[in-house]
Amino acid sequence: MKDKKYDFLAGATLLVDKPLEWTSFDVVNKIRYALRKTLGVKKIKVGHAGTLDPLATGLLIICTGKSTKTIDGIQALYKEYTGTIKLGATTPSYDAETEEDSSFPTDGLTEEQLKANCAQFIGPIAQMPPIFSAIKVNGQPLYKKARKGEKVEVKARNITIHEFELTNIEMPKVDFRAKCSKGTYIRSLAHDFGKALGNGGYLSALCRTKIGEHSLEDAWNLPELIKHIEENYEPVPKN
């Protein structure tokens, strides 16, 4: 795939490994700027197919040109993730973006309990999204309201978790792998996993490894992609 010659203006689909602490739009803007500069064009359509939070890494699919029309279809595909849940504490954002606001003893939790706890989250479930999310209420993202301390009402979403398993347990942290439908919040899964134990939990690390059959193994490292664009493409001839 990395030897492929892309036609960015006509339409290209790029698999990118999103760096930690970058927003998905940061990646889009970086690629758009490189394409405009290298191809010598004022405008080019560039979009992403499914947001990753800044504290998450992994597979981000970027579409250019007419391929941006395929974004909705890509977003509808299942996703796979690996990550880490820290038990014994919660945060308002359900991840490490905000400070811990409560703590619980974890001494009584056994490996058998933890693994058995996964079963109730597999299948169709109603999931409450985090208030620190990009879901819009009255035209404004929830996270903006949350950061202002405003109270907001969040409605549950029907999602499906196809697979959910623990891959390593080193208390208070547990590693997991999950395969889920569009619209699933892994931060909510981490929070709900801790709550179901009569404890607390939040997402301390996350990596998206698959979107449908697209795999992180085939993704570009972002600096390598930018270098590839700058070194292998020339300005588009003007008519």
Tell how far CA 238 is from the center of its chain. 39
Nearest to 161 by CA among 139, 130, 193: 193
**Phi/psi at 57 (5° precision):** -120, 180
In 66-108, the DSSP E strands lie at 79-87, 89-90, 102-103
Q: What is the Cα–Cα distance from 83 to 214, expressed in whole angstroms?
A: 18
The whole-angstrom separation of Cα 91 and Cα 88 is 11
Instruction: Calculate ∠ Cα 130-136-141, nearest 5°.
Output: 75
Q: Which residues are catalytic?
A: 53
